[in-house]
Amino acid sequence: MPRLKTSKDLSDSKITQMQELGSAWVFKRAIQDNAATKWKSWESLKGDSDTFDELVRIWRKVGGVEWSNMVDDQWLESFYKQQQALLDEIGQPKFTEFARSSHYTLPGSKKGETFMEWVSDLIKDEFDIGNKDNWNPADIWLIKDEKKWRKKIEEAVKTPRSISLKSEGSVKAQLAQFNEIFRALYRTKQIIGISLKKIGKDAAVYKEVNVTAKFFKNLKITEMKFDSVKCLLGVKKIGIDSKGMIDLAKEAKSIQKGRGNTGFPTIESQDTVMVVTHKPKTFKVQIKANDSTKFSNLKWEPTEKGKDAARMGKATRELVFDLMREYDIYQYWKPYSTKNKQNPEEYQSYPYNIDEFCGPKLKDSPDQGYDQSYNLVGPWKEYFEMIDFLGRQRVTLGPNQKPINAVVNLKETFQEGSQPFVANSKCMQISWLYAFYKGLQTKAMRDKFCTDLIFLASKEGLRYGPFGKIY
């Protein structure tokens, strides 16, 4: 008898959709229906048929799976702790809508375009912000008198001029006004956006973000400390575990998806990790390809140590680049490509294969001596020099990894049958690190830059909208 499909078989994005709808439903029951008064534990949610039956329906309709006691009861514990933290913070105001998206309508909610969809379209039209999370990472919205506030917000920010005709200054001024409106609506409990993280064994915590003048004052005086960087450039063999065993199923899947042939060498780690501290907290900023299975651009994603299950969010790429320009280090970010692409932000500006990495005349040359001669052309020489520079900055490259070893490892990863997309991403990371160290030559400047980078990822600052974070 075949195994029944459960939520464990679903993609992360699908689980996120189900989880956010589940949270919205539990919040709606807790606030609008006053159900929280009879919930004494997470098990109470399961005993409350009006609440639990809808959760089962969400799992069935959205995920195409049945609720599994063994797999999904952990979500009940998370939902229960989330609503506890929410009610402790905001009390029980008379919200009328608990909105996520129109793809699924909760019982008692209006059909059609939700507040989430409306505000996403509005900020795209008015401020050219294509991804709503780059303004406000709220996953669900709690709203009182939605129709009234939609109208007032539109009247406050709508102009007859298109975004392309507005000056940068006028757009920033309007966005500042827009954010102030939402801060006022948050404080008066008219519209509250909630960012959700799965709750584990500990109690849920509620944090107000970008709401008060005190919050922004504290941001200004907060300074984190840059600690270290690890950019491993050793090699491992594709599809072979530490015991030298081959998983035949994984091997077939890997070959089918173009992820390299078993036994071929590849760079041992696809990412670069920066460590930033703000005692007692430690943050790890993972820099890697946005898609680890193919050629793609970089992302910057911090995680607080000890809270790996709930990443803070990605630092918006465009804002990372703006930050680099503010610190005058963007100029040092060099793409190094034989294809004459000059945009360091794009993976297309970096080598794709051995020919582009070495130069076609050198791809079959022996490797010995290249660390002494410097008689190389193209990216290989440039990356040798960059890796040597990073090594002198005490960047961890891996056990016994010298620049020449690292360069040869990159060359092997670029070969046909290996994982050129991994080597391409590593070249981007090396180039970015070079800009970081070349442009920020003092510890104080690196501290300040990393502080701003963490705030970009957590969407904290005047440029972002207000929200409550439950984590």
pLDDT along the chain (471 residues), means of 10: 74 93 97 93 95 97 93 95 96 90 90 94 91 93 95 82 61 90 97 93 94 94 95 90 64 58 90 95 95 94 73 84 96 82 91 83 52 56 91 92 89 93 97 98 96 94 95 89
Tokens describing residue 426: 């590593």
Q: Are residues 171 and 274 in the same domain?
A: no
Indicate whether 87 belongs to any domain: yes
Residues 252 and 167 in one domain: no
Q: Do 196 and 294 have their domain in common?
A: no
In a domain, 197, yes or no: yes
Q: Is residue 442 part of a domain?
A: yes
Identify the helix (H) or strand (E) that includes residue 365. Answer: none
In a domain, 466, yes or no: no
Query: Is 90 found in the same domain as 239?
Result: no
The kind and range of the H/E element at 209 are strand 206-209
Q: Do 127 and 252 have their domain in common? A: no
d(CA 97, CA 108): 9
Q: What is the pLDDT of residue 314?
A: 85
Q: Are 270 and 289 in contact (CB under 8 A)?
A: yes
| Residues forming beta bridges with residue 281, ordered by sequence position | 278
Tell me how far CA of residue 415 lies from CA of 161, 258, 268, 355, 409, in angstroms.
Answer: 52, 13, 15, 9, 10
User: Is residue 220 included in any domain, yes or no?
Assistant: no
* pLDDT recorded at residue 137: 93
My answer on whether 235 and 195 are in the same domain is no
Q: What is the pLDDT of residue 404?
A: 84
Alpha-carbon 354 to chain mean position: 31
153 domain residue, yes or no? yes
Count CA atoms closer than 13 A to 247's CA, side-chain side: 10
Nearest Cα neighbor of 301 from 318, 322, 316, 321 is 316
Return the pLDDT at 354. 87
On whether both 53 and 124 belong to a single domain, the answer is yes
Task: Find the domain containing 433 and state its range.
Answer: 225-457
Structure confidence at residue 160 (pLDDT): 56
Supply the pLDDT for residue 45.
Answer: 96
Do the domain assignments include residue 147? yes
pLDDT (0 to 100) of residue 309:
45
Domain count, the chain: 2
Q: What is the pLDDT of residue 373?
A: 47
DSSP 121: H
| Per-residue DSSP letter, 459 | T
- The whole-number pLDDT of residue 458 equals 92
Domain shared by 14 and 134, yes or no: yes
The last residue of a domain, from among 171, 204, 237: 204
Whether omega before 335 lies within 30 degrees of 0, making that bond cis, reads no
Q: Are residues 151 and 245 in the same domain?
A: no
Do 326 and 294 fall within a single domain? yes
pTM of the model: 0.82
Q: What is the pLDDT of residue 240?
A: 76
Q: Which residues pair with 192 in a beta bridge?
A: 142
Residue 469: strand, helix, or coil: strand
Instruction: Kindly state whether residues 332 and 413 are assigned to the same domain.
Output: yes
Is 46 found in the same domain as 9? yes
pLDDT score recorded for residue 379: 77
* Residue 126, in any domain of the structure: yes
